[in-house]
Amino acid sequence: MHDKPTLRMFMRERLRGMEESTRHAASVLIAAHLKRLSATWPAGVTVALFGGLKNEPDLVTHLLPALHAQGVSTCFFQIEHQALQARQVRSMDDLHRGQMNVWEPNSHCPAIDVAALDIILVPGLAFTHDGKRLGRGGGYYDRLLGHPQCRAERIAVAFDVQLVDHITVEFHDEHIHQIITESGLIQA
């Protein structure tokens, strides 16, 4: 068993070791699984995405346009006062590289209340099959998912190499409901 700092270092190293071509191919497969899943979502659903870090699945290139074509309302998060604020994104023109070089919505994008989010695609460094999540250490997603008005379905999006057998959790660590990797959907 690893403590969180040790597991974070191990997972960062594991992700850095992925070849760019492997990461790209896995991102395409992950997006294809998410597109199939999105066909089952009800009309008018609001989905929060993430992206921009080199070692994360690419949802912006491979998924965002397909969701827009389906009529899905999409949003990305912006850090405001140590919290994640969802803002509606209608096209790539609504995004810019923000803090930590991640994709963030432009300031003109309308804010979306956490209660209005139906599905949140959740990043992280590691996940277990039973829904435990190891984030990057800032606590942003734990605070968002733990918000009393957050009732969204939580779908982790990760590479197969991010699945581990054990993650030590604390009282404030939030779990996820499903995991999508290049191999498919896992019910947590």
Give yes or no for residue 1 having a pLDDT over 70.
no
**Contact status, residue 105 vs residue 78, Cβ threshold 8 Å:** yes
In order, the DSSP letters of 20-85 are: HHHHHHHHHHHHHHHHHHHTTSPTT-EEE-----TTS--HHHHTHHHHHHHT-EEEEEEEETTEEE
Is 1.10.760.10 the CATH classification of the domain at 4-187? no
* 52 CB-near residues (< 8 Å, 6+ apart): 60, 97, 100, 101, 102, 103
What 8-state DSSP symbol labels residue 102? -
Work out the burial of residue 95: count CB atoms within 10 Å of its CB; fewer than 13 is exposed, 13-18 middle, 19 or more buried: buried
- pLDDT tens digits along 31-85: 999 999 999 999 889 999 998 888 999 999 889 999 999 999 999 999 888 889 9
Which sequence spans correspond to the domains of the chain? 4-187
Identify the pLDDT of residue 135: 92
Element (H, E) at 87: strand 83-89
* Pairing relationship of beta strands 178-181 and 184-187 according to DSSP bridges: antiparallel
Q: Is 126 left (phi over 0), alpha (psi -120 to 50) or beta?
A: beta
* 64 CB-near residues (< 8 Å, 6+ apart): 49, 74, 89, 92
176 vs 40, 61, 64, 101, CA distance in Å?
A: 19, 24, 21, 25
105 vs 8, 38, 44, 117, 175, CA distance in Å?
A: 27, 22, 20, 16, 26
- pLDDT tens digits along 16-28: 999 999 999 999 9
What's the predicted TM-score (pTM) here?
0.94
